[in-house]
Amino acid sequence: MNRMESVISKPTEQRPWWKGAAIYQIYPRSFMDSNGDGIGDLPGIAAKLDHVASLGVDAIWISPFFTSPMKDFGYDVADYCDVDPIFGTLADFDALVARAHALGLKLLIDQVYSHTSDEHTWFAQSRADRTNAKADWYVWADPKPDGSPPSNWQSVFGGPAWTWDARRGQYYLHNFLSSQPQLNCHNPAVQDALLGVARFWLDRGADGFRIDALNFAMHDRALTDNPPAPATDKPRSRPFDYQLKLHNQSHPGIPDFIARIRALTEEYDAIFTVAEVGGDNAEREMKLFTAGDDHLNSAYGFNFLYAEALRPQTVCAALAEWPDDPGVGWPSWAFENHDAPRALSRWCAREHRDAFARFKMLLLTALRGNIILYQGEELGLTQVDIPFEQLRDPEAIANWPRTLSRDGARTPMPWQADAADAGFGSAEPWLPVGAENAGRAVDVQERDPASLLHQTRTLLALRKAHPALHHGAVTRCEARGKLLSLEREADGERVRLLANFGEETIMLTDTAAGEILHSINGATAAALPAFAALLVRA
């Protein structure tokens, strides 16, 4: 049994808009194509924002749309301050901001501060020689006496994290693709340039940032070798998994850079910043990155994104990391995103998908923290099986067939079930829609009052209407076998979630006493059938 006691939030507390917010992630390549070229774009997003607003979310987060050679689909930035032509123009971005704000939605964008594309002008100058003004803007190092790389560090996508560059006669560091050279964020001039990028987008109306791979932003300047990771029974498909990543990431200087980011955002009204933090020490770093009032507002962990199963113990363990105590940051949670396999394909058998989709949506909306829905999650989309010849994901191509393709979660959003392209806007989308997902299209679910789409709207409205669900403290989290009992309190209100994570019916006693706010999958005050859950106000 897991128990957690916490401080109850006070009615008089002044809360910013983002504390308890529901955020909708949009992967622009796959949301809506406005010009028929097979790739979604900013005007396409603007055209479909009514759907997003109708869900009752507070904000949208748009994955990268900046100028890029697209070797890692926008996370290899060649110009931080412009829109790639496949997505539109700066004028299209301005129009999207205006449309979002008119619908009452905040607009968050990605920022990639750990690396750029090798086609960025900064890198072109840096690699030219060892004496130019940007020579130290990236991580360069001489070879070992035998010509081998400066350290044993490995890249996330496979192979050494160092690539030789004959022009400089040195190796450069890249924690991801060799075309994504690592910025040297120890350099104050690099930090200044990145803060200038942030200011550029804030001045254009962005309401905040999700900061990608932030724990990679600084490295051990002594280039100390990483030690081997302990043996494990889990399969390891990449050299990266054979090391403890002690020296190529998670540098203690990163929080000081974060403090500079926070100082900048404090100059603007209602700005929200959330860090993506993965890796072996994610919880510790998330705390460091969000500590007090001079760091980021929130951190986005991986507790659920790569979990092979969803268990009550997983929920209690994740929430226990974020007590409602002074100085402790505010968490953000997601079950799905553009990098992780669709949750329904990971967490339940095919025959349980409809019930489980309702179950996990209720669970997500009951968590303390911000919640992030990935596009199509409100429809119950599943992972699409992409054949090798249609893969676009560089990690999946490099590690085929041992790595599950990220492409399967990046397929186009289905808007119309009977359209050849599912209403995406192009005859040949950049990835296939998937027949099963086409059948879950928005138009089909709009016509069905019992659909997941309608339930998502109901649950988000319920979360917003009840302080205990929206921003309340966790006063109890108990995992007993397949039963989760989660209790939250705020502003004099106490709400309890009772959820059955298993296929066998669980009988209840007086634990369900109170007003039932919502029930799914046949739940009653007496019993929870398979994947059933209750929200009860005590």
What's the whole-model pTM score?
0.95
What is the reported pLDDT for 464? 97
Percentage of the chain beyond pLDDT 70 is 96
Q: Which parts of the chain sit beneath pLDDT 50? A: 1-12
Catalytic annotation, residues:
212, 267
Residues paired with residue 165 on neighbouring β-strands, in sequence order: 170
Note the CATH number of domain 22-116+186-460.
Answer: 3.20.20.80
DSSP 8-state class, residue 191: H
What is the reported pLDDT for 9? 40
DSSP 8-state class, residue 181: P
Note the pLDDT tens digit of each residue in 27-69: 999 999 999 999 999 999 999 999 999 999 999 999 999 999 9
Is residue 248 within 8 A of residue 220, CB to CB? The reply is yes
What is the reported pLDDT for 24? 98
Q: Which of 355, 351, 396, 377 is nearest to 437 (CA)?
A: 377
Half-sphere exposure for 373 (CA within 13 Å, toward CB)? 31
Tokens representing 202 are 């804030």
Note the pLDDT tens digit of each residue in 181-199: 999 999 999 999 999 999 9
Tokens representing 70 are 């697209």
Mean pLDDT of the chain: 94
